């Protein structure tokens, strides 16, 4: 790639060692990501008049923007603190999400107040004022990261 497309950062390779590793930020990839973000926000904005009266389109637009901000903050965290911290913390998220999934199973037996059916499925936790969360969607991401960690550890042991 052309050298103008990269910006160099020095990040720690591991919190336990003091060796530094260069990280190159691909500016072309960042521009593409930002263009996709803008295009999707414009698509949501363009669909606001087509939404039913009971659906608050502005709230939908704000929530989507908030999720983009959370995603970009997570990417910046990974760039500056390294993927090793992600691998060490992912087990905590795994156990938390597993507990939440077990609560969803328990809801079949006992009716829990913070779980209500959505389209006939009781798979969402509803938090008033915040919204609903489906733990199985987050578990998919966590399992992919844990699998990558297992492969990484296996390759390191060779």
The answer on pLDDT for 2 being more than 60 is no
Whether residue 11 sits in one domain with residue 75: yes
Whether residue 97 sits in one domain with residue 68: no
Full-model pTM: 0.62
The answer on pLDDT for 13 being more than 70 is no
Note the pLDDT tens digit of each residue in 27-53.
899 899 999 999 999 998 888 888 887
Note the pLDDT tens digit of each residue in 108-132.
888 888 887 788 888 888 888 877 8
Last residue of a domain, one of 31, 53, 81: 81
Whether residue 77 sits in one domain with residue 87: no
Last residue of a domain, one of 52, 81, 110: 81
Whether residue 69 sits in one domain with residue 7: yes
Whether residue 98 sits in one domain with residue 57: no
**Dist. CA 114–CA 32, nearest whole Å:** 39
Confidence of residue 20 (pLDDT cuts 50, 70, 90): low
Confidence of residue 25 (pLDDT cuts 50, 70, 90): confident
Number of domains within the chain: 2
Q: Which of 36-40, 85-89, 153-157 has the largest mean confidence?
A: 36-40
Whether residue 4 sits in one domain with residue 76: yes
- Convert the chain into a string of H (helix), E (strand) and C (coil): CCHHHEEEEEEECCCCCCCEEEEEEEHHHHHHHHHHHHHHHHHHHHHHHHCCCCCCHHHHHHHHHHHHHHHHHHHHHHHHHCHHHHHHHHHHHHHHHHHHHHHHHHCCCCCCCCECCECCECCCEEECCCEEECHHHHHHHHHHHHHHHHHHHHHHHC
The answer on pLDDT for 14 being more than 70 is no
Whether residue 87 sits in one domain with residue 77: no
Mean of pLDDT over the chain:
82
Instruction: Tell me which residue range forms the domain holding 31.
Output: 1-81
Q: What is the pLDDT of residue 10?
A: 52
At a CB cut-off of 8 Å and minimum separation 6, what does 47 contact? 57
């Amino acid at each position: 790639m052309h050298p103008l497309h990269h910006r160099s950062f020095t990040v720690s390779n591991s919190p336990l060692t003091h060796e530094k590793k260069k990280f190159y930020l691909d500016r072309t990839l960042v521009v593409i990501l930002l263009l996709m973000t803008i295009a999707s926000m414009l698509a949501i904005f363009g669909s606001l008049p087509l939404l039913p009266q009971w659906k608050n389109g502005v709230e939908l637009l704000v929530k989507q923007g908030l999720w983009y901000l959370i995603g970009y903050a997570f990417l910046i965290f990974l760039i500056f603190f390294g993927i090793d911290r992600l691998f060490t913390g992912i087990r905590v998220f795994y156990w938390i999400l597993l507990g939440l999934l077990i609560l969803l199973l328990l809801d079949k037996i006992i009716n829990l107040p913070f779980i209500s059916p959505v389209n006939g499925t009781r798979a969402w936790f509803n938090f008033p004022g915040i919204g609903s969360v489906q733990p199985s969607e987050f578990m998919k991401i966590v399992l992919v990261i844990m699998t990558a960690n297992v492969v990484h550890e296996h390759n390191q042991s060779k």
